[in-house]
Amino acid sequence: MHQLEAIDAKRYYETFFNRFQRMVDSDYHASASILEIYQGLPVAVDAYVMPNGTVVGLVKLNSSEFKVEVFSGDYEQVKGEVRNNTFDYMIPIYPSHPTSDDEVDATIKYTIETRLRHIDFSHYLKDVVLGIVNIEGQISEISKTNPWLSKQFGELTTMLSTTRKKAEGVSKMADESSVRLRYEGYEEIVGFLESFDPATSPQQMDVIDLEKVRTFMTEFIRSYRATIDAKSLAKEAFPPFYGDYPYSVELELLPNKNVAVFFSKATEGMRFIDRQLGFNEFENEIKDKSFDYALGLPNCIHFDKQGAVHQAQVQAQIDLERHDLTMALEELPGSLGEIENQIIKIKKSNPWLEQNLSELLRTLETCNKPVKKLRDRIEKQRNSGLILRSYVNQYDSSISIFPTSGEVPSAAPPVYEDVESAQVMPQASFAPLIAAQGVAPEPVVTPPPGEYELQIPVSGEDLVMPSMEATSVGATAGSADLNEIRSMLYTFERKLADYEKRLHYIDKYTEMIQRQQNKKFKAQKELLALESRKGRWLGVGLGASALVLGTILLILSYQEIMDLINDLV
């Protein structure tokens, strides 16, 4: 490998993670706990330089120290790494990748905000599981002091166990699906990179036109429906995109030959509208656009039948898994409602346990809230227009498989986690960074802006995002330690909240035991006093009876005693 290539790739990843950490500390600290890359710092990066100049960085989290190693690689080798899941995240350096601080920041923001928009089932369902575990613990303690409730609590315990396993199953299914789809996406990206040929790619882009895109989308929709039909599913198992057919389809071809596709439910059969838009025109329209689904197609794919079938099959599999998760989630509110009704039933038949059972109901509410919030996020995402797969974002945010051209817009608005309307963000075009050995690199010249990010709306939590401004690379070294402490404190606070919740339950249980013990001691004291009074009056009665009997005997034997005395005299 050329020494200059190794130095350039190494420098890029060093800059990326340095600025990544500073940006999270500055602008995304409140969300730091759910940013896996941030939590996994320092990282180790194996950077593979491909034959066509692209670089694939395989990131391993929680390394003993930050390090970047650069190797000469080939596509099959990297695909093997992807299939074996030997790393945690992939960060490619695409052809003509930008290296200015602003461009790196744009890439980092896209990476962070994509993660924040992701609906993490396990993030919510772990609170459901924790709440159920707490209820099971409370019931166990109540049963120890009230064994006659074992029959009533037995049914409730079974319901709790079933619901807990269901929540754990949904969480596990979501995690496994997310990980698998991530690595499948990485393998697909490597395939896109492999198809890039600097000699022929510009000519390939030139042949992309509206007719070709319309034919591609017609085959995409047909293949998507055929893939779902082949599953022989019940009607309720159909994913929404399948069930909402037919659509009014709007195709918009951008100057850099990326394609934005918008689907709206139609009542009079399929209808296509295709337009070729400039960036400014697209930006003005997208803010107020209404649609049910959106799909982004990058200019690097082949707009042919084979490509349409592949994209449709991948999308169908994603939608089926997503819908399965949603249906599994929909079962939880009903299960939690049955648990609530059972607790109320026990409460009515055991009024002396009202305080304990009311505490169970309050704990159960901590299970209902995260489920409701998760369902609300899914519904909000649905109402705002569901994203199918948006490679337009990825391939225009910080990468350019092919050169771009078009109008130059004004500065773009910031992107927040909850986006009510789609936004288009300008990006700068750039020249290749990696040069041949022995050739002095040309001076870095900031090129004019020419690329755009299509930011299709995705719902997120109602969080107020802090300022998007990142700190400079020259920030003080002590800030890293301070930010690490902040992150540790944030994690500690969450754990502390869980422990405080458990301690609260322990305190309540202790109070209950103390009250029961006090009642027992009081009852025993009253019993001893009663027995003491009984013993005292029994002694008095026995003594009186003995005195009476003695007097009677004395009277009866009086004459005999007198005769005995006279004889003695």
Does 150 fall in a domain? yes
Domain boundary pick from 86, 118, 150: 118
Whether the link from the prior residue into 448 is cis, omega within 30° of 0, is: no
At residue 397, does pLDDT exceed 50?
no
Alpha carbon of residue 24 to chain centroid: 18
pTM, full prediction: 0.65
- For residue 507, the model assigns a pLDDT of 66
- Which residue is associated with the tokens 């055929």? 226
In the chain, the number of structural domains is 3
Average pLDDT, integer, range 218-229 = 96
Q: 42 and 5, same structural domain?
A: yes
Contact 41, 66 (CB under 8 A): yes
Scanning the structure block, which residue is given the tokens 């909240």?
497
Whether residues 3 and 85 share a domain: the answer is: yes
> Which pLDDT band holds residue 71 (cuts at 50, 70, 90)?
very high
Residue 33, in any domain of the structure = yes
Alpha carbon distances (Å) from 546 to 494, 537, 539, 541, 554: 78, 14, 11, 9, 12
Selected residue with higher pLDDT from 374 and 542: 374
Q: How many CB atoms lie within 10 A of CB 538?
A: 10
* Same-domain pairing of 18 and 61: yes
Q: Tell me what the mean pLDDT of segment 512-525 comes to.
A: 76
Residues 128 and 114 in one domain: no
Cβ(37)–Cβ(43) under 8 Å? yes
Look at 344-348, 431-435, 510-514 and tell me which has the smallest mean pLDDT: 431-435
Per the domain annotation, does 422 fall within a domain? Answer: no
Amino acid at 57: G
**Average pLDDT estimate for 403-415:** 34
Question: Does 403 score more than 80 pLDDT?
Answer: no
- Please report the pLDDT score of residue 482 as a whole number: 53
Inside any domain, residue 320: no
Q: Would 533 be classed as within a structural domain?
A: yes
Q: Looking at the structure, tell me whether residues 134 and 107 fall in a common domain.
A: no
Res 362: pLDDT: 92
Contact 13, 45 (CB under 8 A): yes
Q: Based on the domain organization, do 151 and 84 belong to the same domain?
A: no
Q: What sign for the dihedral angle of Cα 441, 445, 446, 450?
A: negative
pLDDT of residue 144: 81
Residue 385 lies in a domain: no
Say if 202 falls within a structural domain. no
Shared domain for 33 and 57, answered yes or no, is yes
Q: Is the CB of residue 223 less than 8 Å from the CB of residue 309?
A: yes
What average pLDDT does range 317-335 have in this prediction?
93
pLDDT value of position 219: 96
177 token code pair: 């699906």
Q: Do both 57 and 104 map to the same domain?
A: yes
Residues 85 and 48 both lie in one domain: yes
pLDDT at 565 over 90: no
The domain boundary residue, chosen from 98, 118, 138 = 118
548 part of a folded domain: yes
Instruction: Take residue 470 and report the two structure tokens written for it.
Output: 């990142």
**Residue 1 has what pLDDT?**
38
Distances from the Cα of 355 to the Cαs of 142, 312, 351, in angstroms? 11, 56, 9
Helix-helix angle 478-556:3-27, to 10 degrees: 50
| HSE of 479, CA atoms in CB hemisphere, 13 A | 14
Q: Which of residues 74 and 256 earns the better pLDDT score?
A: 74
Residue 137 host element (H or E): helix 121-145
Lowest mean pLDDT among 196-200, 305-309, 463-467, 480-484: 463-467
Q: What is the DSSP string of 290-328?
A: --SEEEEE-TTS--SHHHHHHHHHHHHHHHHHHHHHHHH
In this prediction, residue 543 carries a pLDDT of: 82
Q: For the residues 364-386, what does the mean pLDDT come to?
A: 90
For residue range 236-291, what is the model confidence (pLDDT) as tens digits?
999 999 999 999 999 999 887 889 999 999 988 889 999 998 878 887 888 788 89
User: pLDDT (tens digit, 9 = 90+) per residue, 438-487?
Assistant: 333 333 333 333 333 333 333 333 333 232 233 333 333 344 455 456 54
Instruction: Assess whether 64 and 8 both reside in one domain.
Output: yes
Residue that finishes a domain, picked among 84, 118, 152 = 118
Q: Judge if 50 and 153 occupy the same domain.
A: no
Q: Are residues 38 and 105 in the same domain?
A: yes
- The range of the structural domain enclosing residue 545 comes to 501-568
CA distance 249 to 217: 9
| Spatial contact of 259 and 252, defined as CB atoms under 8 Å apart | yes
Q: Strand, helix or coil at 50?
A: coil
In this prediction, residue 113 carries a pLDDT of 84
